[in-house]
Structure formats: C-alpha cells, structure tokens
Amino acid sequence: MVKIAYVTLLGRSPWAAVNTYYKILKEKRVSGGIERIYIFTEERYRAVLPKVKKALRAISKAYGLTPRIEAVVIPDDSFFEADRRFRELFSELRDGGYTIGLDITSGRKALVAAAIVQAREFPVSFIVYMALLDRDFPDRPHMMIPVHMQPLKNFLGDGDESR
C-alpha cells in the first residue's frame, strides 16, 4: 500500500481545508493510506489550528484512518522560510517512502507558491484545489453545500473533475 502524507495549507478559511480533506476521502481520491497530515499555516492563523486538527482527526477516524497530525507555523508572508520548510519536509517524506498529497485550497500566496515550487522535485500524487462557486456558503461543512458548488481540481490530473 502507498504511504501518503497529506499536506494542507491553512489560510483565511478553516472550512476550506477541512472540507477539501473530507471530499478527497469521500470520493476515494487517494490510492493508499494517509498516515500523516501536515498543516502549514502562517502565524496569523495559529489560533484556529486546534479546531482544524480536531476536525481532520474526526474525519480521518470516520474513514478508519489514524494519521499523525502536525502543524508547521511560518512567519506571516515569509516565502523564503516556507520554501525552506517545505523542502525539508518533502525531503524527509521522500526518504521515508511517502508520496505527497498537497491541498492548496485555503493557502495564502507565500505558502502556495513555496509548496508548488518544492513539489516539483518530490513524489507528489496530487495537488488539489476545491473551488467554492457560490459565496453564500463560505463557513459550512461540506455536506451542507451543494456538491456542484464545490468542484475539486487535481492539477496533476485524475479523470473527471467536475464533481
């Protein structure tokens, strides 16, 4: 079985990070077990980390997963620090036999850019972004938002992405 380390970027919307993870698991978008989850965020969003960790843990449990969940907090708007931390983590994961699943949905520019630049050199199984097509639903759980309003795009390709 493929070992997956799921890396999510947390920005303004905690729901975006949580809902994307839920949709990925619900639609069986992973071909292996998620053994680790890393939440990258900036200092300004540190306060929401406990709630996001709790939500990801609960969703994982519902799917029979018990991943180790860790947070990496980067100084606000620090592209160079983010770049270094992604390179270090991705190297460690590669050396540990992991493939990386990257969610950029909630991330801010410095984190998204650094993650994608570093991902080019490492084993990445997906890079996803879930859009929210109607701003009337910003802070709701995935199941309370119409499915057609939350298309998931895998930038590495994986068939029908209109769901």
Q: Which residue has the higher pLDDT, 146 or 29?
A: 29
**pLDDT > 50? residue 29:** yes
Rounded to 5 degrees, φ, ψ at 125 are -90, -30
* Residue 54, token pair as written in the block: 């709790």
| Six token digits for residue 142 | 């995935």
In terms of pLDDT, which residue wins out, 74 or 26? Answer: 74
Report the pLDDT averaged over residues 23-35: 81
**What 3-state class would DSSP assign to 40?**
strand
Rounded-to-integer distance, Cα 123 and Cα 77, Å: 26
Strand partners, 90: none
Q: Residue 80, SS3?
A: helix
Contact 132, 150 (CB under 8 A): yes
Fold category of 4-154 in CATH: Rossmann fold (3.40.50)
The answer to whether 98 and 8 have CB atoms below 8 angstroms apart is no
Distance in angstroms (rounded) separating the CA atoms of residues 55 and 99: 23
pLDDT tens figures, 58-97: 999 999 999 999 999 999 999 999 999 999 999 999 999 9
Average the pLDDT over 99-127 and give the result. Answer: 92
List Cβ neighbours of 96 (8 Å cut-off, separation of 6 or more).
Answer: 3
The secondary element (H helix, E strand) that includes residue 99 is: strand 98-103
Integer Cα distance of 72 and 113 in angstroms: 16
Specify the higher pLDDT residue, 151 or 20: 20
**Span 121-127, average pLDDT:** 91
Give the residue extent of every domain in the chain.
4-154
